[in-house]
Structure 1
Amino acid sequence: MRLGLDLFLGNQFQSFKGMRVGLVTNMTGVNEKLVPSIDLFYEHPDIHLAALYGPEHGIRGDAKEGEAVESTIDPYTGVPVFSLYGASRKPSKEMLDPVDVIVFDLQDIGSRYYTYIYTMAYVMEACAEYGKHFVVLDRPNPISGSVMEGNLLEDGIRSFIGLYPIPNRHGMTIGEIALFYKHEMGINCELTVVQMDGWERQMFFDQTGLFWVQPSPNTTGLDMSILYPGTCLVEGTNLSEGRGTTRPFEYIGAPFIDGYRLAKKLNEQKIAGVLARPVSFKPVYQKHRDEVCEGVQLHVADRYAIHSLRTGLTLLETIAEMYPNDFKFVQHNEKYTIDLLAGTKEIKDKILQKKTDEFLECCGEQLERFRKQIKPYQLYK
């Protein structure tokens, strides 16, 4: 298969020859030989790379989650780098003045909570406002484009981890999301999507022949990415989601948990496609830093059978039932984090009342509506 990057550099860049190009990218912007798109653009005789723009974690991926990133000069190319995760998450006029066209080349991981798709939305908005052409170099959805899970974000619950009404596991590529934003969300910029050649919707990332470059410090691999639409909800609780370990979003635990009891309880429920193993771990940062936590590692036994969101909700429901006096939902700026992640305020009660199956049943109608809504923008069979 060939990436949007390959096809753009092959001949599609000709449409923008002579223009000043801005590139939104990070360490995931590489070709099939792992050569960075920054280098490919900078060294190309017919592309004028005038500016770089970095999302959360920075242009080289060395900033932790939530850590502000400063604008700087790229030491390898001397090109100015404007941060899209610092003082502003939307490019200002001054940030776009050096360029005529913005090219977006970032690897998404297929979940609503992941901020790169909202960086793209803000850049598209700015391009619409200041008359810049926006080009997306499409990349695979690593957890396939054939599965969707979850609910649509409710009105009034918008944040940088959930900006538009898309499901937890959205089943789209970054290029398809850009088309959705333009035609359904009204971000009416001049848009070009450079499609991949040879990618099919049912493909997982390890079936593409490409090398995995983790898009952020805690997106460690394919199993983590498959679990993430469900286990990311753990961030909204006082449990460790495994940040600060080698297995984030696969390790789940806390100092008050008995890992053997939890693993036994989860495996008795026969969660489709998942096996739980008791673990003990000590996070080096984030929640429960330097404390011994017991819990489970969730292993993906069958990627085609797993329902990631059901897995995450069953996990939280089980822990809430086992440890009612210890389990808590956490708040940030007087808002429950899990509300922002789940895109609804009802999930807390559903977990505590052991009614998450009821919640998931209600998601079916929303997913069917979303499938019909995005069908015109699906670029791949």
Structure 2
Amino acid sequence: MKPVFTYSFIFLAYLLMAGCSNTKSPEHSVPKVIVGAERSEIYLPMLAGKKVGLVVNQSSMVDSVHLINFLVSNGVDVKGIYAPEHGYKGNVERGKDVDGTTDPETGIPVYSLYGKNRKPTPEILEGIDVMIFDMQDVGVRFFTYINTMTRVMEASAENGIKVMVLDRPNPIGYYVDGPMLKPGFESGVGLYPIPVVHGLTVGEYAMMVNGERWLKDSIQCDLEVIKVENYTHETKYQLPVFPSPNLAEMKSIYLYPSICLFEGADVNEGRGTYKPFQQFGAPYYTPQDFSYVPKSIPVLALHPKFEGETCYGYDLSGMSLKELQDIKQLEIKYVIDFYNKCDDKENFFTPFFDKLAGSDQLRKQIMEGLSEEQIRASWQEELEEFKLMRKNYLLYDETSMVRQTQ
């Protein structure tokens, strides 16, 4: 249900009465964002008598209760927990398998969707009527949770299982930018032709994948999206629970789309520090105004790039949230800067860079010496086409609540 704002005159009267006071009346504050998982009055009746599978992690909360416990306490027959990267509690080192375990509180079996079977097999889906996806995403193509979701959609469609997405806000859903993923560059960090920053919630993205028939053999799943209430794409949503160990601050999330590109280059992206994606550097970088030494940190980073070496580069952790929110584009200036400073340019990029970028175009443009403006201009036509398609699947307004109340 879309929020309705009918109190324009009341709001103006409130401003007049408030005068110089800084005290805000709760009845005129911005309505609380209510995520899909908290709208149980809608989805619990749909789950009555159903055998349910859950694709969840530590962000899958219903107020202060995890979705697993919430559903079990409400009599839902949960048959399996399907864990993404970092596990269903978010405490697993990147790439580690959690298959074959059980949830200690409920005894429900846990199946890994980040090990050898990234797509659920018919065997681990046997007997399931509804697969629920409820995880906080960050709105970036190479953040792997949306790939987990679409593989679940595909497997569910093939096995006659309904998919229910309990939607959550996109913390950077207020802009769309970056190069598109091109055919032939599909990978574990990008499956479908979308830009790096796609501007969709997981529910909207699921609808796009289904509607555009991107699943294998153009199959479509039986999809239900439980919408977020009181959210628009300009809402600056602050995550109550962070989605992964290295994205444990809003500052890291805002910088993640741009700085994560260094995972495919000869630059440390802040892994091995307590400010991942907020600081980044390499031993060869000049000037040497800022430095740090990456080290192994359990769960966060084991044996990070340039472990034990002094790295020089940037520290963006001092930027305010407002400053970071005002950055509404993929910043490629940092990659260009480090490439220009690197002596061993032939080995600066790794094959993983093309997977993150979605094609080999960005790498080649940087190597050819194109300017940031020239590179950004090369994205625009395809971006505009994507934005037109994106409008077909939007569940939430793109105008801000502030403007709606005026």
Taking structure 2 as the reference length, the TM-score comes to 0.83
Alignment partner, residue 268 of structure 1: none
Task: Report the AA paired with residue 350 of structure 1.
Answer: Q
Shift, 1:187, TM fit: 4.3
- What is the distance in 1 between the residues matched to 2:293 and 2:219? 45
Compare 69-78 and 231-240 and name the one that shifted more: 69-78
Distance 1:337 1:254, change over 3 A: same
Distance 1:187 1:167, change over 3 A: farther
Alignment partner, residue 267 of structure 1: none
SS of residue in 1 equivalent to 2:131:
strand
Alignment partner, residue 124 of structure 2: 95
- What is the distance in 2 between the residues matched to 1:158 and 1:70? 25
The unaligned stretches of length 5 or more in structure 2 are: 1-32, 297-302, 398-406
Distance 1:350 1:198, change over 3 A: same
| Equivalent residues of 2:176, 2:329 under 8 A apart | no
- What is the distance in 2 between the residues matched to 1:146 and 1:61? 26
Distance 1:295 1:327, change over 3 A: farther
SS of residue in 2 equivalent to 1:108:
coil
Q: Which has the larger radius of gyration?
A: 2
Task: Report the AA paired with residue 72 of structure 2.
Answer: Y
Alignment partner, residue 142 of structure 1: 171
Q: Tell me the matched-pair count.
A: 351
2:342 to 311, 317, 323: 323
Aligned residues: CA RMSD:
1.7
2:382 to 366, 369, 378: 366
- What is the distance in 2 between the residues matched to 1:249 and 1:103? 30
For 1:1-381, list aligned pairs within 5 A.
1-7=33-39, 9-32=40-63, 34-45=64-75, 47-143=76-172, 145-184=173-212, 185=214, 186-206=218-238, 211=240, 213-260=241-288, 278-284=290-296, 285-299=303-317, 300-301=319-320, 302-309=323-330, 311=331, 313-325=332-344, 328-331=347-350, 336-355=351-370, 356-381=372-397
- What is the distance in 2 between the residues matched to 1:137 and 1:65? 24
- What is the distance in 1 between the residues matched to 2:373 and 2:79? 51
Distance 1:53 1:259, change over 3 A: farther
Task: Report the AA paired with residue 294 of structure 2.
Answer: K
Taking structure 1 as the reference length, the TM-score comes to 0.88
The unaligned stretches of length 5 or more in structure 1 are: 262-277
- What is the distance in 2 between the residues matched to 1:214 and 1:187? 33
SS of residue in 1 equivalent to 2:231:
coil
- Deviating beyond 4 angstroms after TM superposition, the runs of 4 or more aligned structure 1 residues are none
SS of residue in 2 equivalent to 1:361:
helix
Deviations 1:51-100 (A, max 9, x none): 11100111111222233332311111100111111120000111111311
| Equivalent residues of 2:291, 2:312 under 8 A apart | yes
Shift, 1:307, TM fit: 4.0
| Equivalent residues of 2:270, 2:279 under 8 A apart | yes
Shift, 1:318, TM fit: 1.1
- What is the distance in 2 between the residues matched to 1:182 and 1:53? 21
- What is the distance in 2 between the residues matched to 1:307 and 1:74? 40
